Structures are given as C-alpha cells and as structure tokens.
Amino acid sequence: MSITRIQPNGRLSQAVVMGDLVFLTGQVGNPNELVGEQTATALAAVDDLLRQAGSDKSSILNATVLLSDIDDFSAMNQVWDNWVDRINPPSRATYQAPLITRDHKVEIIIVAAMKAQ
C-alpha cells in the first residue's frame, strides 16, 4: 500500500494519505485571533490540505476538536456549523486540552476518505 506525505518536514507531515484514508495533523489558527477566527483559519487549512490530498470536507469521517477553554465551545461550533458539509457530516468529539501556546484556542484533527474517482 502506498503512502503519500503532504508538506512533510523533518518531524511531521501536514497530511498523510494511506490507501483510501487521509490523516491531517492538528490545524490551528493565528494565536492573535479570537476563537471564532482561529476556527475559521484552521478549517481553511483543513480545506486546503484535503484538496492537496485529493479529498474534501464532504469525505471527512471523523474530527477531533481541542479547545483550550471549553467555554469557547459555542463560538467554535458556530463557525463549524457554517462550514461543515450538511449532507455528509462527520462524527466529531470536542475536548478541553492545553494547546501548543496559551494563545492558541482551537486545534482541529481530521481523518477523511479519498474522494471517489
């Protein structure tokens, strides 16, 4: 089975395609933004990486959303609801967790299927 790495660097790849699955690393926004803006920025990165991998948000199977403060759930979820594919919504879990810096408020991890050819 072939493995394709998208935007690899010395210690990680932004996305890995193995067979019919696409695995994205956690995507974050600009730490100077509010949680809604960080969410939108992270989701734009998800869209871009999925496109590079040959997929899109309609093929997302599972999402894990990490919030530095669970009180930001509503602001994150509002942006998510405007972005998510309504016909093919993925499963999703949301957790409060410390993120890479104090100013990062949201991180989104995605597993998707490849688009059918």
CATH of the domain at 60: 3.30.1330.40
- Average confidence (pLDDT) over 101-113: 97
User: Is 107 within 8 Å of 65 (Cβ atoms)?
Assistant: yes
- Average confidence (pLDDT) over 103-115: 96
Domains held by the chain: number = 1
Domain span including residue 10: 3-113
pTM of the model: 0.94
Q: Is 80 exceeded by the pLDDT of residue 103? A: yes
User: Is 117 within 8 Å of 65 (Cβ atoms)?
Assistant: no
